[in-house]
Amino acid sequence: MRFENDLKECTLCEHRCGVDRVAGELGVCHMAGPIVASRTLHPAPPESYTIFVAGCNFKCVGCQNWTISQFPDNRMAVEGYVDPKSLAQESIRMLESTAGILMGADRIFFSGGEPTIHLPFIEEVVKEARQLRPALKVNFDTNGFMTEKSLKRILNFTTSMTFDIKAFYNDTMRAITGAPVDPVLKNAEIVARTASEKLWEFRIVAVPEVNEDDIEPLCRFLASISKDLPVCFLAFRPNFVLDEHLGATRELMNRCVEQGRLAGLKNVTYAGTSNIPGKVGVLQRKVEGDYSRRGAKMAASYALSKGCNTHPRDCSSCLSMSTCPLKKYLPVRSC
């Protein structure tokens, strides 16, 4: 594989694990080589041929794609390695199929999991695909935790980008994902200031009782860069470690949009199913001194209840990184 050099001392994301993934060493994402979980024509905007890659550098307590992101630890079925040239040919064929044309699918959409951990593989797929269709559009769906060097590479080949922001405050971010917030906010600002024409939208999942306090400062942060930035709030659906948690209410989603507009954002919306029933978990005493905000304590309490014992959460330095209990958790329900 021509992209192996990037994996021999991996620093593609801000965990900067430095492991030799080619030799089978595993960092936070627990991934060695690139694995395709699934691929399909997808109607969600932007309409596309979507390629889901397995694995992620986050361990988000409310992950909606946990069957893909927590591979290989959860042993969920995935397709496996696919040759970049073959995948490129298939992608073009599907975009040009009757179903693809009727759907209006006009690009390859890389999602996951987190595509950044497989960046060299994705670059190879895009290179092969553009030999067949030079003007091919490409979307990159990301959690924003890549290094600045990786971000420059991504912006070099993407047509559009969907960019998730989980939180504004560091303790909330760590509690939700196991990673710090600064790299994400820094990369969000780089994209907003230098490549806004490629930004499809910033996406913010609104989780009741968890990141509600982060919504207003996030809106003000984005509006301070540009009031024209597209922002979409996504209604949290109970899933993964937050499988029994309360879903986002319609009132919360309307409030998110209102806070965005009050901050000055002109292009703010919300999407997703609201009012899914659930309950709020019990705060665990063991996390009290590690987080300053109640929402962060709530998310961390859920993580602790499922076996995460490093607090504040820090996946890159956790002594249990190679045997992370969260990555093996199987939810009671998925909505």
C-alpha distance from residue 49 to each of 122, 161, 253, 332 (Å): 14, 15, 29, 31
Q: 144 with 181, same domain?
A: no
Q: Is position 322 within any domain?
A: no
Record the tokens describing residue 24, joined without a space: 């089978």
Between the alpha carbon of residue 57 and those of residues 144, 216, 230, the distances in Å are 10, 26, 25
Query: Do 157 and 209 reside in the same domain of the chain?
Result: no
Q: Is the pLDDT of residue 11 over 70?
A: yes
Residue position matching structure tokens 């990555």: 327
Short-list 141, 61, 36, CA closest to 327: 61
Residue type, 136: L
Q: Identify residue 312 by its one-letter amino acid code.
A: P
Per the domain annotation, does 196 fall within a domain? yes
Whether 201 and 296 map to the same domain: the answer is: yes
pLDDT band, residue 335 (cuts 50/70/90): confident
SS3 for the chain is CCCHHHHCCCCCECCCCCCCCCCCCCCCCCCCCCCEEEEEEECCCCCEEEEEECCCCCCCCCCCCHHHHCCCCCCCCCCECCCHHHHHHHHHHHHCCHHHHHHCCCEEEEECCCHHHHHHHHHHHHHHHHHHCCCCEEEEEECCCECHHHHHHHHHHCCEEEEECCCCCHHHHHHHHCCCCHHHHHHHHHHHHHCHHHEEEEEEEECCCCCHHHHHHHHHHHHHHCCCCEEEEEECCCECCECCECCCCHHHHHHHHHHHHHHCCCEEEEECCCCCCCECCCCCHHHHHHCCCHHHHHHHHHHHHCCCCCCCCCCCCCCCHHHCCHHHCCCCCCC
Q: Is residue 327 part of a domain?
A: no
Instruction: Name the domain count of the chain.
Output: 2
Q: According to the model, what pLDDT value does residue 185 have?
A: 98
Asked whether residue 13 is domain-assigned, the answer is yes
315: left (phi over 0), alpha (psi -120 to 50) or beta: alpha
Flag whether pLDDT at 1 surpasses 70.
no
Cα angle 185, 249, 272; round to 5:
65
Residues 88 and 222 in one domain: no
Answer for the pair 142, 183: CB distance below 8 angstroms, yes or no. Answer: no
Least confident of 9-13, 90-94, 205-209, 319-323: 319-323
Q: pLDDT (tens digit, 9 = 90+) per residue, 296-332?
A: 999 999 999 999 999 999 999 999 988 999 999 999 8
At which of 147, 164, 181 does a domain end? Answer: 164
pLDDT single digits (tens) 12-65 = 999 999 999 999 999 999 999 999 999 999 998 999 999 999 999 999 999 999
Mean pLDDT over residues 189-206, rounded?
98
Spatial separation of the C-alpha atoms in residues 202 and 136, rounded to whole Å:
22
pLDDT computed for residue 42 by the predictor:
96
Same domain, 222 and 102: no
CB 40 within 8 A of CB 294: no
For residue 171, the enclosing domain spans: 165-309
The whole-number pLDDT of residue 78 equals 79
Alpha-carbon span 309 to 325, nearest angstrom: 9
Q: Is residue 324 part of a domain?
A: no
Same domain? 41 vs 83: yes
| CB atoms inside a 10 Å sphere around CB 235 | 22
CA nearest to 314, candidates 204, 176, 203: 176
Token pair of 329 as six digits: 């958790």
In a domain, 328, yes or no: no
Domain contains 90: yes
Task: Identify the band that residue 334 occupies on the pLDDT scale cut at 50, 70 and 90.
Answer: confident
CB 271: neighbour CB atoms within 10 A?
Answer: 14
pLDDT digits (tens, 9 = 90+) for 240-280: 999 999 999 999 999 999 999 999 999 999 999 999 999 99
Say if residue 151 is in the same domain as residue 186: no
- Specify whether 106 is located in the same domain as 31: yes
Strands 48-53 and 36-42, bridge-based pairing: antiparallel
Amino acid present at 210: V
Mean pLDDT of 60-81: 92
Do 92 and 4 share a domain, yes or no?
yes
Domain shared by 159 and 179, yes or no: no
The CATH number covering residue 169 comes to 3.20.20.70
Q: What is the pLDDT of residue 39?
A: 96
* Pair 283, 234 in one domain: yes
154 with 174, same domain?
no
Confidence of residue 2 (pLDDT cuts 50, 70, 90): low
Q: Quick one: pLDDT at residue 79?
A: 86
The predicted structure's pLDDT at residue 177? 98
Instruction: Kindly state whether residue 176 falls inside one of the protein's structural domains.
Output: yes
